[in-house]
Amino acid sequence: MGIEMREAQDSENTATRKDLINCTVVDQITVEMILTDLAQGRSKEKIRQKYAYKDENGTPQPFEKWMVDEMFKDPNLRGKKPARKKVLPFTFKGTTTAPTTPEPKYGIPGTEGGHQFNPSTQNNDTFSENGVDFDID
């Protein structure tokens, strides 16, 4: 039985070491770090797998689920979800030119539906509005 327990402990240590290969060992984590991870689409589980800490003996340890849950109790992280990036399963080729805005149906083009009177262009019995001369009778 003693041999079996040692093998179980050794395999557990090996699994822990494999988990720590891609981990970033940190002394502190900021809200900005977690928000950046969420913006990159990382879930709580992926955040847990990304970071590790050093225990009292200086040995790197992976985060546990409850630790990540505690971090998400911060008011700035409460209710935050990872960004979901939807990827189309095909190539989409859209238009390369920007859409043009249609001219107004009524009114003078370029005036957005209203006309603008410029009294400085007024001559005796005529006035000019947007380059168009009108007679006043």
DSSP string for residues in 53-95: EE-TTS-EEEPPHHHHHHHTTSTTTTT--PPP----SS-----
**Contact at 8 Å (CB) between 107 and 114?**
yes
Residue 8 confidence (pLDDT) above 90: no
**Hey, which of 13-27, 33-47, 121-135 has the most confident mean pLDDT?**
33-47
Q: Give the pLDDT confidence score for residue 131 in this predicted structure.
A: 65
Please name the residues in contact with 111: beta carbons below 8 A apart, sequence gap of 6 or more: 104, 130
**Contact at 8 Å (CB) between 9 and 16?**
no
What's the mean pLDDT in 55-69?
Answer: 90
Q: Give the pLDDT confidence score for residue 39 in this predicted structure.
A: 92
pTM of the model: 0.49
What's the mean pLDDT in 5-32?
Answer: 64
Amino acid at 98: A
Residue 136 binned pLDDT confidence (cut-offs 50, 70, 90): low
How does 45-57 read in b/e, with b if 16+ C-beta sit within 10 Å? eebbbbbbbeeee
